């Protein structure tokens, strides 16, 4: 299988790329070339999803990608009245428009061979909503809707489509979002039933399972991997 992981230079994407190296040819994409080279993947495409999606589409077609993992994402914290047109356009392009377009470019080959896996990395914010992160919540909620519809559309071709919704994750993005918020890490931990942040490796291992033949009956699902955050407090 030919696997593409977007946003693979760090955090969740990097963990996924490393986890999947032994089950197929792993290709990666991100905006930082040095970090991509360090991964030692089969190949990489230097790409900014707000403007380089055509370049990445060609890369997908050339390498016959049949496992697409839409991990790249952008997070913006602030009240809706603070959001400019450029911020709105940027987050929707990265978190929803780009994944949808990349799927449209990968699906023809998947259909042709009657097999494929599409895994979108969403967020618990797209399930529950997050005050002062309305754009992020909306984009990730859209990803869940896209997943459900595409699972129905592609089921007959043996293509599964699922979304993993992490809660607070122990990554640079997760820690930066704490810095931007009005709450301390200790206050956030008090709201998480397991009193811990999810590790990127946990998401990577779930991704591996969803690719496997053991998970062929799982499609159209929105799976919360959030240390209990989505259940309540």
**Size of the chain in residues:** 233
Cβ-defined contacts of 141-147 (< 8 Å, 24+) = 142/95, 142/96, 143/70, 143/95, 143/96, 143/99, 144/222, 146/96, 146/99, 146/100, 146/103, 146/120, 147/118, 147/120, 147/122, 147/220, 147/221, 147/222
Cα 135 to its chain centre, rounded Å, is 16
Residue 59 in contact with residue 29, Cβ under 8 Å?
Answer: yes
CA pair distance 6, 8, nearest whole angstrom: 5
Residues annotated as catalytic (active site), given as ranges: 136
């Amino acid at each position: 299988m030919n696997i593409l992981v977007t946003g693979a230079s760090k955090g969740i994407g990097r963990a996924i790329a490393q986890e999947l190296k032994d089950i197929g040819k792993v290709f990666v994409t991100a905006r930082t070339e040095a970090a991509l080279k360090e991964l030692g993947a089969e190949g990489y495409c230097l790409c900014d999803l707000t403007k380089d999606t055509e370049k990445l589409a060609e890369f997908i077609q050339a390498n016959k990608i049949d496992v697409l993992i839409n991990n790249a994402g952008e997070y913006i914290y602030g009240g809706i009245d603070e959001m400019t047109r450029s911020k709105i356009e940027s987050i929707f392009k990265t978190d929803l428009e780009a994944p949808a377009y990349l799927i449209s470019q990968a699906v023809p080959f998947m259909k042709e061979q009657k097999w494929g896996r599409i895994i979108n990395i969403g967020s618990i914010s797209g399930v529950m909503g997050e005050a002062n992160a309305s754009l992020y919540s909306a984009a990730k909620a859209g990803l869940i809707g896209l997943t459900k519809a595409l699972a129905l559309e592609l089921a007959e071709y043996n293509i599964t489509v699922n979304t993993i919704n992490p809660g607070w994750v122990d990554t640079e993005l997760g820690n930066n979002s704490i810095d931007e918020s009005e709450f301390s890490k200790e206050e956030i931990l008090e709201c998480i039933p397991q009193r811990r942040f999810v590790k990127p490796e946990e998401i990577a291992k779930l991704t591996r399972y969803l690719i496997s033949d053991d998970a062929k009956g799982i499609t159209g699902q929105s799976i919360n991997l959030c240390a209990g955050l989505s259940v309540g407090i």
